[in-house]
Amino acid sequence: MAVVTQEHEAILVVDDEPAICSLVKTLLELEGYAVLIAGDAETATHIYEEHSAEVALLLTDVKMPGMNGLELADRILRKKPQLGVLFMSGSPGATGGLACIAKPFTRAQLIGRVGMALYRLPPARAQVAAAGIGLQSTSQRIS
């Protein structure tokens, strides 16, 4: 788990696949974000309770064993309605039109969508960020 700094509010990343958590954490930290990770919704709930003041964005997989990402978001949003939420899914339609990044995704797509969800960027600016303009591109895809 990263130490939450005063420079950035924290992003809580939740995925039941450790490799995805690790890779997303690394990519976000390279951009200067403070990142907290959890492998399931229950752990994420506990981490959120410990760091609720710092957590500005929940980035969660939709399909996980036990409580899914939609239920997790609902639970946390009841406590902090202004929290940004971005879902990750291999089936983006599973979120019913909520903010979602489709797996697999590139670094640029991840950073663009996180920026849009976290900073509530105007759509045109967010689309530019998602396209990777101004970001170092990588062909690495996260699945």
List, for residues 35-59, the tens digit of each pLDDT value. 999 999 999 999 999 999 999 999 9
Give the type of residue at 116.
M
State how beta strands 55-61 and 10-14 pair.
Answer: parallel
Quote the pLDDT of residue 75.
95
Domains of the chain: 10-105 (3.40.50.2300)
Quote the pLDDT of residue 142.
59
pTM here? Answer: 0.79
Q: Which of 1-15, 66-80, 90-104, 111-125 has the highest mean pLDDT?
A: 66-80
88-109 burial, b for 16+ CB within 10 Å, e for fewer?
A: bbeeeeebeeeebbebebbbbb
DSSP 96: T
